[in-house]
Chain A
Amino acid sequence: MSRKAILSGLLLMMVIMTAQMPASRVPVPVTLSWPDYFGNRVFLPAGNPVTEDGIALGRRLFYEKALSSTDQMNCATCHQQAKAFTDGKRFSAGADGVLQPRNTMSLANLLWVRQLFWDGRAASLEEQAVTPLTAAHEMGQSLEVAAAKLQRQRRYPALFRRAFGSDSITGDRIVKALAQFERTLISANSRYDQYLQGKYQPSVAESNGITLFYANTDTARGIRGAGCAHCHGGPKTYSDLFHNNGLDSLPADAGRQLITGQAYDKGRFRVATLRNIALTAPYMHDGRFPDLESVIDHYSEHVAHSETLSPFLQQPLRLTGREKKDLLAFLHMLTDSTFITDPRFSNPFNNN
């Protein structure tokens, strides 16, 4: 055998050995996408870029019951995909059976939400996730205990290594992975989206509903409007705003005032997205309205006055029965059936 052949053989062996060594995998970045009309005012913290392995881990953690003190609850107990990540209840029960003081919020299009919770107290999804995981009347377990439980499970150290570069499981990494998964929960394929993209012809009622939603009443010019877009914004049907929407003249829950201490924030709550709204009953921070008809009736006839009532709700809308039905038709257009059946958001444990 010539020296050249020996050398080639050695080289080949080295190549094979190198290929078999456990390479330190670099997480693959994921570029999230959404329609142009959503705009790019998104919140993606530099310290937690979304990656394939981070999202996969976050999805698993979202459905992981070991994250609750009783091993009986996961995030999806209250945030069920089929209901646009709500649970249909007025108040959800925690691991200890105690009810929450406010209604569970939907998890659609959180990329555009800067201040989370009904009162806006959390500035990021990472910060937000700590509360449901650790609060006594929610999942009721410290992040340290949660991390230790996962560390003992066979599969998790490798999943954390893939997502974050080492086997170490920490509370910080748990909330980061959850936040990455939540950022992927983009709902942008409703009939309204198809209409905006020129692929769907709305019915007469839907078309009237769209007009009413965006228009403001102008009696002098004979224009009827419900002015919903003041707070519910453009095609996202969401703006980062806090308003007192006139539920009570003396609010039982002070809302944002509890966070800021400012008198003018009394009874103010974060404006909710209307995406998938037909799936997220009951409505309002206290889940007082069982259906969308009651919500429309509220804005039309029952707004309660107070010092902090939104300036956009000072005049009653007094919608006709026809107008209410048209608005309702528009709200139903916002249901995104692909969002609630998307396998990427489903329970990964069901496939194991």
Chain B
Amino acid sequence: MIKNCFLGLLLLMGINAIAQQKPVVKVSGEVARPLTLYPENLRQMKRTTVSLKDRDGNDHAYTGVPVQEILEQAGVTTGKTLRGENLSKYLLVRCADGYEVLFSLAELDSSFTDRVVILADESGGQPLPAGKGPFRLVVPGEKKPARSSFQVTDMIIRFAKD
């Protein structure tokens, strides 16, 4: 009887034990160095805070790593090398639910724009809430926050070829 209960318990635990993965953002495509960024990696990179008007109409402060910084670490053509054919490159941001948004590299580069787009992991000193975090793209200054996408999992750089 006790043995049976023990077996039942083990089975129950087995069913519930889904191998839990750490959240991660992968940077791939036209990069010199593909990156796998865990929460602790983002905390060690150059960070900044930006403001975003969210769907509620109010400004919220978000903190994280500028996308340009991530692209530089991955060896993407930024700054002085963002010229010629490299201007036809884009960044595709993919989220856990399959949602995708796109930017031309020039939209994200400080040699073209003063706007700083970040990969945020904090708001008001707190981790982002479930449903939005752990990583959210924050794109300040847009009329709607549709590109400030939740639960980012992949940043893919490619050439637009046709």
The answer to whether B21 touches A308 (Cβ under 8 A) is: no
The answer to whether B131 touches A261 (Cβ under 8 A) is: no
The answer to whether A242 touches B130 (Cβ under 8 A) is: no
The answer to whether B99 touches A261 (Cβ under 8 A) is: no
Chain B positions 76-122 with a Cβ under 8 Å from a chain A Cβ? 96-99
Chain B residues near A310 (CB-CB < 8 A): 97
B146 to chain A, nearest CB (A): 11
Complex CA–CA separation, A120 to B153 (angstroms): 15
The answer to whether B98 touches A115 (Cβ under 8 A) is: yes
Interface flag for B75 (CB, 8 Å): no
The answer to whether A242 touches B97 (Cβ under 8 A) is: yes
Interface flag for A243 (CB, 8 Å): yes
A147 to chain B, nearest CB (A): 34
Query: Which one, A12-20, A94-102, A263-271, A295-303, is touching chain B?
Result: A263-271
Knowing A261-B18, A308-B130, the reply to whether A242 touches B23 (Cβ < 8 A) is: no
Closest to A263 in B: B20
Complex CA–CA separation, A311 to B56 (angstroms): 13
Query: Which one, A134-142, A161-169, A252-260, A318-326, is touching chain B?
Result: A252-260
Complex CA–CA separation, A188 to B161 (angstroms): 29
Closest to A252 in B: B15
Complex CA–CA separation, A260 to B26 (angstroms): 14
Closest to A262 in B: B21
Interface flag for B1 (CB, 8 Å): no
Chain B residues near A260 (CB-CB < 8 A): 21, 96
Interface flag for B62 (CB, 8 Å): no
A311 contact from B18, B19, B21, B150, Cβ within 8 A? B150
Contacts between chains A and B (CB distance < 8 A), count:
41
Complex CA–CA separation, A310 to B21 (angstroms): 21
Interface flag for A131 (CB, 8 Å): no
The answer to whether A264 touches B19 (Cβ under 8 A) is: no
Chain A residues near B68 (CB-CB < 8 A): none
Complex CA–CA separation, A115 to B20 (angstroms): 21
The answer to whether A242 touches B96 (Cβ under 8 A) is: yes
The answer to whether A262 touches B23 (Cβ under 8 A) is: yes
Chain A positions 236-261 with a Cβ under 8 Å from a chain B Cβ? 239-243, 254, 257-258, 260-261
Interface flag for B148 (CB, 8 Å): no
The answer to whether A243 touches B18 (Cβ under 8 A) is: no
Closest to A268 in B: B97
Knowing A242-B96, A242-B98, A262-B23, the reply to whether A308 touches B18 (Cβ < 8 A) is: no
Interface residue total, chain A, C-beta cutoff 8 A: 22
Chain B residues near A264 (CB-CB < 8 A): 23, 96, 130-131, 151
B122 to chain A, nearest CB (A): 17
Complex CA–CA separation, A242 to B95 (angstroms): 10
The answer to whether A307 touches B20 (Cβ under 8 A) is: no
Complex CA–CA separation, A36 to B9 (angstroms): 55
Complex CA–CA separation, A239 to B95 (angstroms): 13
Complex CA–CA separation, A16 to B9 (angstroms): 79
The answer to whether B150 touches A261 (Cβ under 8 A) is: no
Complex CA–CA separation, A351 to B142 (angstroms): 60
Most buried by A among B20, B98, B132: B98
Chain B positions 46-62 with a Cβ under 8 Å from a chain A Cβ? none
Chain A positions 196-245 with a Cβ under 8 Å from a chain B Cβ? 239-243
Knowing A307-B131, A311-B150, the reply to whether A243 touches B97 (Cβ < 8 A) is: yes
Chain A residues near B19 (CB-CB < 8 A): 261
The answer to whether B96 touches A240 (Cβ under 8 A) is: no
Complex CA–CA separation, A115 to B100 (angstroms): 14
Complex CA–CA separation, A309 to B131 (angstroms): 8
Chain A positions 270-327 with a Cβ under 8 Å from a chain B Cβ? 307-311
Selected A-B contacts with CB under 8 Å, 18 pairs: A115-B98, A242-B98, A254-B18, A260-B96, A261-B18, A261-B19, A261-B21, A262-B21, A262-B96, A264-B130, A264-B131, A268-B96, A307-B131, A308-B130, A310-B97, A311-B131, A311-B132, A311-B150
Q: Which residues of A contact B (CB under 8 A)?
A: 115, 120, 239-243, 254, 257-258, 260-265, 268, 307-311
6 closest A-B pairs by beta carbon, nearest first, are A261-B21, A307-B130, A241-B98, A240-B98, A242-B97, A261-B19
Question: Beyond the given A264-B131, A309-B131, could you list 15 further A-B residue pairs with CB under 8 A, ordered by the A residue number?
Answer: A120-B98, A241-B98, A241-B99, A242-B97, A257-B18, A258-B18, A261-B19, A261-B20, A261-B21, A263-B20, A264-B23, A268-B96, A268-B97, A307-B130, A307-B131
